[in-house]
């Protein structure tokens, strides 16, 4: 008798017609033979074996360098279940349209069967997926990003309890590229792209889009959040999870080297992108990192912005679309001041200084999480880590202060739902376009976001001590357009304030938007920051917030009657607090 997995592999092979089927075991020797094959056909280039042992460079097709949100669909039976912020296709229509693209797509190629676990092996919170792919680069990347191979197959046994994902590079033509999610069947189809977020199906497709749907049904949370532990001088570690839209420094925060290390405050990394959070029997919220590696943006990464990852990626790392130096080392903008002589760009052409970039702005490193010096001793704890704070953040030149604490869980959900980030013209410091990105889940929520807010609200009664919810903004600018806050390792000062709020040990001002630190409650010793700068960082501007309140109302209107009443209520309450404060100020 064949197993459900064998049946599906067979059915998919009938459709895609590979010349060979290989079941991956995840071993080092399997990886080495895949790497050799990729070195032979040019998919991989080897890097300097002395300075970057067992590291490879992959150059993708130039039309395939990023997630393609416009080609990403939620295929729920009812359109309203996908909601106004997702692309939608009816399941039957989607299959009819995309099945022909899979037809004989693997002819002359190998189909790899890639079983994987999202989450630590043997955790009750982990889940199994199986990806069928014709890309050896995807196989090699999945081996870093998940617990892949025999370990997953052993855990699965004969069960049908896995998320199937069918992936083919197709012809890499964006006209024939589709990333489809069938949440009711828990099925993923991806064709026409080899890029990480489109092709490593465990990551955004399963661990966020499909998992968010499952999490709502099953009463847990699948979030686009890093997880870190803040150690205090007594050795106690408090865990926090944080959601930021892209380009807000999530990986850097998760892997931060603390500026307060001499005072005994240190940051441990549990995860840099995704958190699966469950309510444990004791009523605490426990988080696991479903991934096993970091798929991080390379440009801007250097010894100052992220020393831990710079140390991690010196061996056993795959680089994608970065530059290559004459000594066969990876290079990208922001790694050091000047491009070295003899540099090749990400296309493999000699780099010249009048070019915009040697590395693609979305070039990446794929590195095992365990290689980071900051990795938490508990990062693979099957029970997860207990979460005491949830943090939302965005890039706001104005409006949001450095940090504030929500009044309670419900207000915190509202704060997450109103999250936004700006594109700024950095050179002039001009304020750019604000993109609403609730909980940083806009591109990743597998269902109607109004229901998603409802799900967040519904978690509260299940939690004995709901985590405090904070909002941060490292990106506020002064009148001269310059950033007011130094960021990076100094952000630990803000985490320390949160810790003291959690422990009820520090002061805050009660403002219309929530609790903002008093000027003396932040630990600022060793940091040169003027009283005026600090005041500006913490200022809640009535005019800016009145505009913000209006803009969030317009965003919420998209969801119509499906928006939970509690979100309306919080929106109204904010408006009332703001008008009371402005009357008081007159
Ligand atoms: C993202 C990523 O795009 O993590 O958010 O790659
Ligand atoms: Mn992400």
For the CA of 224, the closest atom of ligand 1 is: 5
3-state SS, residue 563? coil
Over the stretch 191-208, which tens digit does the pLDDT of each residue have?
999 999 999 999 999 999
Q: Based on the number of CB atoms within 10 Å of its own CB, is 156 exposed (0-12), middle (13-18) or buried (19 or more)?
A: buried
How confident is the model at residue 394, as a pLDDT?
Answer: 93
Residue minimizing CA distance to atom 1 of ligand 1 = 246
CATH 3.90.228.20 domain locations along the chain:
222-292+377-541
How confident is the model at residue 220, as a pLDDT?
Answer: 98
Q: By C-alpha distance, which of 198, 277, 177, 212 is closest to 81?
A: 212
- What is the distance in A from the centroid of ligand 1 to the CA of 246? 6
218 vs 288: CA distance, rounded Å:
16
Among all bound ligands, the one having the nearest atom to the CA of 226 is 2
Catalytic residue among 55, 75, 205, 248: 248
Over the stretch 216-243, which tens digit does the pLDDT of each residue have?
999 999 999 999 999 999 999 999 999 9
Question: 433: pLDDT confidence band, cut at 50, 70 and 90?
Answer: confident
439 vs 158: CA distance, rounded Å:
37
- What is the distance in A from the centroid of ligand 1 to the CA of 430? 26
143 vs 56: CA distance, rounded Å:
14
Does residue 250 have a pLDDT over 70?
A: yes
Q: By C-alpha distance, which of 345, 370, 341, 368 is closest to 356?
A: 345
Q: By C-alpha distance, which of 295, 236, 277, 484 is closest to 494?
A: 484
Tokens of 269: 């990394």
Query: Length of the chain, please?
Result: 586
Measured CA angle at 567 (ends 561, 572), to 5 deg? 105
Q: Are 419 and 394 in contact (CB under 8 A)?
A: yes
Name which residue leads in pLDDT, 424 or 332: 332
Does residue 265 have a pLDDT over 50?
A: yes
Residue minimizing CA distance to atom 5 of ligand 1 = 246
Tokens of 284: 């605490």
Question: 424: pLDDT confidence band, cut at 50, 70 and 90?
Answer: very low
Question: 422: pLDDT confidence band, cut at 50, 70 and 90?
Answer: confident
Question: 43: pLDDT confidence band, cut at 50, 70 and 90?
Answer: very high
Task: Give me the mean pLDDT over the 367-382 stretch.
Answer: 98
Q: Are 19 and 108 in contact (CB under 8 A)?
A: yes
Does residue 425 have a pLDDT over 50?
A: no
- What is the distance in A from the centroid of ligand 1 to the CA of 237? 27
Non-local CB neighbours of 551 within 8 Å, separated by 6+ positions: 420, 434, 436
CATH classification code of 4-41+70-218: 3.40.449.10
Question: 523: pLDDT confidence band, cut at 50, 70 and 90?
Answer: very high
Q: Which region among 9-18, 85-94, 353-362, 463-472 has the lowest average model confidence (pLDDT)? A: 353-362
Q: What's 225-275 look like in SS3? A: CEEEEEECCCCCEEEEEEECCCCCCHHHHHCCCCCCHHHCCEEEEEECCCE
- What is the distance in A from the centroid of ligand 1 to the CA of 197? 7
Task: Give me the mean pLDDT over the 60-79 stretch.
Answer: 95
Among all bound ligands, the one having the nearest atom to the CA of 197 is 1
Question: 423: pLDDT confidence band, cut at 50, 70 and 90?
Answer: low
- What is the distance in A from the centroid of ligand 2 to the CA of 274? 7
Q: Are 506 and 427 in contact (CB under 8 A)?
A: no
Chain-centre distance of CA 384, in angstroms? Answer: 18
How confident is the model at residue 8, as a pLDDT?
Answer: 98
Q: Where are the beta strands (DSSP E) in 394-524?
A: 403-405, 420-422, 434-436, 468-472, 508-511, 514-517
Non-local CB neighbours of 195 within 8 Å, separated by 6+ positions: 60, 64, 65, 66, 67, 68
Q: Tell me the pLDDT of the chain averaged across its residues.
A: 96
Question: 119: pLDDT confidence band, cut at 50, 70 and 90?
Answer: very high
Over the stretch 444-484, which tens digit does the pLDDT of each residue have?
999 999 999 999 999 999 999 999 999 999 999 999 999 99
Does residue 273 have a pLDDT over 50?
A: yes
Does residue 2 have a pLDDT over 90?
A: yes
Task: Give me the mean pLDDT over the 432-453 stretch.
Answer: 94
Residue 75 catalytic?
no
Query: Residue 487 CB: number of other CB atoms within 10 A?
Result: 16
Q: Are 214 and 202 in contact (CB under 8 A)?
A: no
Chain-centre distance of CA 331, in angstroms? Answer: 23
CATH 3.40.449.10 domain locations along the chain:
4-41+70-218
Task: Name all residues whose Cβ lies below 6 A of ligand 1.
Answer: 67, 197, 246, 273, 295
3-state SS, residue 494? helix
Task: Give me the mean pLDDT over the 378-390 stretch.
Answer: 98
Q: Which of 66, 68, 197 to mutate to test ligand 1, by most ligand atoms within 8 A of the CB atom?
A: 197
Residue minimizing CA distance to atom 6 of ligand 1 = 197
3-state SS, residue 44? coil
Q: What is the pTM of this model?
A: 0.97
427 vs 148: CA distance, rounded Å:
44
Non-local CB neighbours of 297 within 8 Å, separated by 6+ positions: 246, 247, 251, 362, 363, 364
Among all bound ligands, the one having the nearest atom to the CA of 362 is 1
Which H/E stretch holds residue 5?
Answer: helix 4-16
* CATH fold of the domain at 222-292+377-541: Phosphoenolpyruvate Carboxykinase; domain 3 (3.90.228)
For the CA of 66, the closest atom of ligand 1 is: 3
Of the CA atoms within 13 Å of residue 549, those in its CB half-sphere come to 21
For the CA of 67, the closest atom of ligand 1 is: 3
For the CA of 440, the closest atom of ligand 1 is: 5
Task: Give me the mean pLDDT over the 181-190 stretch.
Answer: 98
Task: Give me the mean pLDDT over the 98-109 stretch.
Answer: 98
């Amino acid at each position: 008798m064949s197993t459900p997995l064998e049946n599906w592999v067979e059915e998919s092979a009938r459709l895609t017609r590979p010349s060979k089927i290989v079941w991956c075991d995840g071993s080092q020797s399997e990886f080495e033979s895949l790497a050799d094959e990729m070195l032979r056909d040019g998919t991989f280039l080897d890097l300097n074996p002395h300075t970057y042992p067992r590291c490879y460079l992959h150059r993708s097709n130039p039309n395939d360098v990023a997630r393609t949100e416009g080609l990403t669909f939620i295929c729920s039976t009812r359109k309203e279940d996908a909601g106004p912020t997702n692309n939608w296709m009816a399941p039957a229509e989607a299959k009819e349209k995309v099945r022909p693209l899979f037809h004989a797509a693997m002819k002359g190629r190998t189909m790899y069967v890639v079983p994987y676990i999202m989450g630590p092996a043997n955790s009750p919170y982990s889940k199994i997926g199986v990806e069928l792919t014709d890309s050896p680069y995807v196989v090699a990347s999945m081996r870093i990003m998940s617990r892949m191979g025999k370990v997953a197959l052993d855990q699965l046994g004969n069960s049908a309890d896995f998320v199937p994902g069918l992936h083919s590079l197709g012809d890499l033509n964006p006209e024939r590229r589709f990333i489809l999610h069938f949440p009711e069947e828990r099925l993923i189809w991806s064709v026409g792209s080899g890029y990480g977020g489109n092709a490593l199906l465990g990551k955004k497709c399963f661990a966020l889009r499909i998992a968010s749907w499952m999490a709502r049904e099953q009463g847990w949370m699948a979030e686009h959040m890093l997880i870190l532990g803040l150690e205090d001088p007594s050795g106690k570690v408090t865990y926090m999870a944080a959601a930021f839209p892209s380009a807000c420094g999530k990986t850097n925060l998760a892997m931060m080297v603390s500026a307060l290390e001499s005072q005994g405050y240190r940051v441990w990394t549990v995860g840099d992108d995704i958190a699966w959070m469950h309510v444990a029997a004791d009523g605490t919220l426990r988080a696991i990192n479903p991934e096993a590696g970091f798929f991080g943006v390379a440009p801007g990464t250097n010894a100052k912005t992220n020393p831990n990852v710079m140390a991690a990626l010196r061996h056993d790392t795959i680089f994608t679309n970065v530059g290559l130096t004459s000594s066969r080392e990876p290079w990208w903008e922001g790694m050091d001041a000047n491009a070295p002589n003899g540099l090749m760009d990400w296309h493999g052409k000699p780099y010249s200084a009048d070019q915009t970039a040697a590395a693609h702005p979305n070039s990446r490193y794929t590195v095992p999480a365990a290689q980071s010096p900051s990795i938490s001793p508990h990062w693979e704890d099957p029970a997860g880590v207990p979460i005491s704070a949830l943090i939302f953040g965005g890039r706001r030149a104005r409006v949001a202060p450095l940090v504030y604490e929500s009044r309670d869980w419900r207000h915190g959900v509202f704060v997450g739902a109103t999250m936004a980030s700006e594109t700024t013209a950095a050179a002039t410091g001009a304020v750019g376009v604000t993109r609403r990105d609730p909980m940083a889940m806009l591109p990743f929520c597998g269902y109607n976001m109004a229901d998603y807010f409802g799900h967040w609200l519904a978690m509260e009664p299940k939690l004995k001590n709901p985590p405090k919810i904070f909002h941060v903004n490292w990106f506020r600018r002064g009148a001269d357009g310059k950033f007011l806050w130094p960021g990076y390792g100094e952000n630990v000062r803000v985490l320390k304030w949160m810790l003291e709020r959690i422990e009820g040990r520090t002061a805050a001002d009660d403002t219309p938007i929530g609790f903002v630190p008093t000027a003396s409650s932040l630990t600022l010793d060793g940091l040169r920051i003027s009283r005026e700068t600090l005041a500006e960082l913490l200022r809640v501007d009535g005019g800016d917030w009145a505009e913000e309140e209006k803009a969030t109302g317009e965003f919420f209107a998209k969801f119509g009657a499906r928006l939970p009443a509690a979100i309306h209520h919080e929106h109204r309450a904010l408006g009332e607090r703001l008008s009371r404060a402005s009357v008081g100020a007159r």
